[in-house]
A = this chain, B = another copy of it.
Amino acid sequence: MTIDVFILTALRSAEGASVSGGEIAKKLGVTRAAVWARIRELRSLGYEIEASPHEGYRLLHTPDLLLADDLLARLGTGRIIGRDIRVFQETTSTNDIIERLAVDGVREGVVVLAESQSKGRGRLGREWMSPAGKGIWLSVLLRPKLLPHETTQLTIAASTSVARAIQSETGLAPEVKWPNDILLGNRKVSGILTELHAELDRVKYIILGLGIDVNQEETDFPVPMRSIATSLRIETKHSVNRSNLAVALLRELERDYSRICRGQFEAIANEWEALCSTLGRDVSVRVGERWVHGRAESLANDGALLLRTQHGHLEHITGGDVSLRK
């Protein structure tokens, strides 16, 4: 833990009360002047810290910055997801970074965040706009004991995690759309890109990538996207703190991932079904170059969508583009 993280943790655990500079200095084994120097440094990063000669220091406001050390300290230890966090100012895509870490044999749970991505991508190689400081662009390396075709479970789990994190941080009520979209009022606010590396019958690793549009204003989106994309700021009408959201999200991901590792996908599937805007609707799904039409009936136990075709046949779909039929 760095000195900064120690100071921030001390200030946070006081929950709005003051903490004496002398006390912090003593625990750290440094001088009071050294603590004061770090406080000024933290202020320059945007942390609003009140300093009173008698009371000590008080944290008034955390800036909307993604700092690996701070995120790590807030998450605490004993977890898989986020036990190692790396923040980049800019990268091609956080999934690319995770892929390189995976090839180098890094263990599961490492999280990569970027302030901006120059080649952020969605499913099927589509572009994902990732402007600096406006969203959460995040990827996680996972090495679960799943069969390759069960990977859809992780996309489903991540969708519910994102929905819960948005709900707890903003009070909004997101819906999920199979397999990988999170919607607010029928507009997309978040998407998930699950990349699988596997043998025929064994998963080697999975890159779970996700993007959440947080603080874009309407004008940040190109005109043709405005009817289909939204952000938390647009929906709540105020800016949303990304680091708080990232912490909430990583906690939710941890919870769902440990449920999957314990074989409790069914509980996640039930939560997902309650959030879902796709089930019970007539949909068309494009799978590769084939279209399947039918009623979205339920989730299979591997995370696939079960579609009842007009001939009454139940199709088992592991991935594809869903559109609602009018």
Alpha-carbon separation in the docked complex, A198 to B197 (Å): 6
Q: Give the size range of A's interface with the partner.
A: 20 to 34
Please report which residues of chain A, range 89-135, place their CB below 8 angstroms from some CB of chain B when the two chains form the complex: 96, 99-100, 103, 123-125
Report chain B residues within 8 Å CB of A287: 147, 201
Bound-state CA distance A96–B179 (Å) is 31
Binary CB contact string for chain A from 298 to 326 against chain B (1 if under 8 A, 0 otherwise): 00000000000000000000111000000
A219 nearest CB across to chain B (Å): 31
Q: Are B123 and A320 in contact (CB under 8 A)?
A: no
Q: CB distance B200 to A179 under 8 Å?
A: yes
User: Are A151 and B200 neighbours in the complex by a CB distance under 8 Å?
Assistant: yes
B148, A199: Cβ atoms closer than 8 Å: no
**Distance between Cα atoms of A156 and B200 in the complex (Å):** 12
Contacts of A198 in B (CB 8 A): 195-196, 198
Interface assignment of A276: CB less than 8 Å from any CB of chain B: no
* Chain A interface, DSSP helix/strand/loop, else mixed: mixed
Docked Cα-Cα span, A194 to B197, in Å, equals 11
Contact A288 B201, beta carbon cutoff 8 Å = yes
> What residue of chain B has the Cβ atom nearest to residue A321's Cβ?
B201
B196 touches A197 (CB 8 A): yes
Q: A147-B288, A148-B148 are in contact. Are A201 and B320 (CB under 8 A)?
A: yes
Residues of B within 8 A of A193 (CB): 199
Known contacts: A99-B103, A103-B103, A287-B147. The answer to whether A319 contacts B201 by CB under 8 A is yes
- Contact flags A179-218 to B (C-beta < 8 A → 1, else 0): 1100000000000011111111110100000000000000
A278 at the interface (CB under 8 A from B): no
Question: In whole angstroms, what is the CA distance A99 to B125 when docked?
Answer: 19
Partner of A200, one of B100, B125, B152, B199: B152
Bound-state Cα–Cα, A151 to B148, Å: 11
**Complex partner residue of A155 from B200, B202, B288, CB under 8 angstroms:** B200
User: CA separation between A116 and B124, bound complex, in Å?
Assistant: 37
Residues of B close to A155: CB separation below 8 A? 200
Can you name 27 A-B residue pairings with CB atoms under 8 Å? A99-B103, A103-B103, A123-B199, A123-B202, A124-B201, A125-B202, A147-B287, A148-B148, A148-B196, A148-B319, A149-B149, A149-B318, A152-B200, A180-B200, A194-B199, A194-B200, A195-B197, A195-B198, A195-B204, A196-B196, A196-B199, A197-B197, A199-B319, A200-B319, A201-B287, A201-B319, A202-B319
